[in-house]
Amino acid sequence: MTQSVPEPKKAEWRKRITLPRMAAAAALVVLVCLSLLIGADTLSPTQLANDPEALELLLASRLPRTLAALLTGSALAIAGLIMQALVRNRFVEPSTAGTAQSAALGILLMTLVFPAASLGVKMIGATALALLGTSVFMATADRLPVTQPHLVPLFGLVYGGVIGAVVTFVGWQTDLLQFIDIWTSGEFSGVVRGRYEFLWGAGIIVVLSWWIADRLTVLSLGREASIGLGLDYAWTLRLGLLVVSVIAALTVSVVGIIPFVGLVVPNIVSRVIGDNLRASIPCTALAGALLVLGCDIVGRLIRYPYEIPVATVMGVVGALLFLKLIRLRPSHA
């Protein structure tokens, strides 16, 4: 029965993936350059070479903003991917499962109770509430019938809305509505050097998630298959939950909620290369970074020199992509 083992079909695999990957890399370079140059004061490369002030603007504002968009985009896409593996449903992500709204509630409560605490401390509170909110969602999603896959995202959307209502209510009562706008409507215009560095934490988490990619792939096969393959199911589930919550807390407190990234990016990547997470995590991270940076640039250009928040742009782009995805979905799954 044993055949001579063919050299794993790497050549073919590489052929399939190289073209989109090259295109993505090229797009990344172009978008990063655009993002560095575009803004209320448009910089030109010659200016940068001669004008120290222009260089300072680049380093203090444009570069942090660009990096923040890239880090946020990849982290949100990965959080969506992990969430989909945890819930075993294609159509969930942190902002449609109450995670992001719970994180916003956490920040709000921390701001009320410990107004003097540093952003890092507040993030711990945000993470804790995000964990709690997501756990409630997952426990409920688990009890919904698997025969109706659209019930879970529907439930999550409304659940997120309910928590959002709590956030608004508390904000109203405590005169913190302006802050709530910052947390619930994501934008990068406030991102400068010294304000965004927490997002590197999200970047590190993205890399770590690649490290446990195989475990997550096994997890996405479901509880019984995972146990059969010797995965510590409960532990991995909790780890995934923690990763998603930390990403939500970091991004919500630094840039605010950006909807749909975690929903559409993993679905599109999965259509192209499948769900082996070892292969798809890097692609998903890259595509998420591209999407968010692209939307941020659009938001900067569309009403130049004013800015449209990235969350608004993404609300339109993401909702359109998502509608396309749920219509395209083959009926049997």
Partner 1 sequence: MHKRRLVLLAVLAVVSVAAFLTLGLRGNLAFVLQIRAVKLLALVQVSVSVALSTVLFQTVTANRILTPSIMGLDALYLFGQALLVFLLGGLGYAAIGGGWKFAAEVLIMIVLAAVLLRPLLTARLDMSLLLLTGVTIGLLFRSLTQLLFRLLDPNAFAVVQTASFANFNALRADLTIIGSIVTFATAVVCWHHRHRLDVVALGREAALGLGIDWSRTATLLLLMVALLVAVSTALVGPVSFLGLLVAALAERVLGTSRHAVILPAAALVAIILLVGGQAIFQHLLGSAATLGVVIEFAGGIAFLLLLYLGSRT
Partner 2 sequence: MIRIEDLNLAHGGTPVLRDINLTIDRGGIIALVGPNGAGKSSLLSLIARLRPLQTGRIFIDGLPVTTTPGRELARRMAILRQDGVFAGRLTVRELVSLGRFPHNQGRSTPQDRARVEEALVQFGVADLAERFLETLSGGQRQRALVAMTFCQGTDYLLLDEPLNNLDMFHARHLMQSLRRMADEEARTAIIVLHDINQAAAYADRIIAMRDGRIASDGTPGEVLTVDTLAAVFGYRMQVTAAAGRPLVLHHL
Residue 299's alpha-carbon distances to 3, 178, 308, in angstroms, are: 57, 21, 5
CB of 104 to partner 1, least distance (A): 13
237 binds, among partner 1, partner 2, none (CB under 5 to 8 A by kind): none
Query: CB burial class (10 A; 0-12, 13-18, 19+) of residue 105?
Result: buried
CB of 209 to partner 1, least distance (A): 27
The residue among 225, 217, 227 whose CA lies nearest residue 86 is: 217
> Taking CB under 8 A as the rule, does residue 151 contact partner 1?
yes
Instruction: Out of 120, 161, 190, 274, point to the residue binding partner 2 (CB under 8 A).
Output: 274
* Main-chain dihedrals φ then ψ at residue 42, nearest 5 degrees: -75, 130
The footprint of partner 2 on this chain (CB under 8 A) covers a number of residues equal to 40
How many CA atoms lie within 13 Å of 148's alpha carbon, on the beta-carbon side?
A: 9
Instruction: Out of 162, 207, 227, 301, point to the residue binding partner 1 (CB under 8 A).
Output: 162
CB of 229 to partner 2, least distance (A): 5
Instruction: Out of 214, 306, 323, 324, point to the residue binding partner 2 (CB under 8 A).
Output: 214
Task: At 19, list the tokens.
Answer: 């073209």
Residue 283's alpha-carbon distances to 130, 268, 331, in angstroms, are: 26, 10, 26
CB of 1 to partner 2, least distance (A): 5
In whole angstroms, give the CA distance from residue 32 to residue 69: 10
Site for partner 1 in 247-276 (CB under 8 A): 259
> Taking CB under 8 A as the rule, does residue 329 contact partner 2?
no
In whole angstroms, give the CA distance from residue 89 to residue 275: 13
Counting every residue written for the chain, the total comes to 333
213 binds, among partner 1, partner 2, none (CB under 5 to 8 A by kind): partner 2
Query: CB burial class (10 A; 0-12, 13-18, 19+) of residue 199?
Result: buried
The nearer residue to partner 2, 7 or 175, going by C-beta atoms, is: 7
Alpha-carbon dihedral 118, 123, 129, 134, rounded to 10 degrees = 170
Task: At 219, list the tokens.
Answer: 């997890």
130 binds, among partner 2, partner 1, none (CB under 5 to 8 A by kind): none
223 binds, among partner 2, partner 1, none (CB under 5 to 8 A by kind): partner 2
In whole angstroms, give the CA distance from residue 139 to residue 148: 16
Question: In which element (H, E) is residue 25 found?
Answer: helix 10-37
Asked whether the beta carbons of 243 and 205 are under 8 A apart, the reply is yes
Binding mask 79-98 for partner 1 (x = CB under 8 A): ------------x-------
Binding mask 104-143 for partner 1 (x = CB under 8 A): ------------------------------------x--x
Instruction: Out of 150, 197, 208, 235, point to the residue binding partner 1 (CB under 8 A).
Output: 150
Longest Cα–Cα distance in the chain:
74
Task: At 300, list the tokens.
Answer: 């900067």
CB of 112 to partner 1, least distance (A): 16
> Taking CB under 8 A as the rule, does residue 330 contact partner 1?
no
319 binds, among partner 1, partner 2, none (CB under 5 to 8 A by kind): partner 1
Residues that bind partner 2 (CB under 8 A): 1-3, 5-6, 8-9, 12, 85, 88-90, 146, 213-215, 217-218, 220-225, 227-233, 270-271, 274-276, 278, 330, 332-333
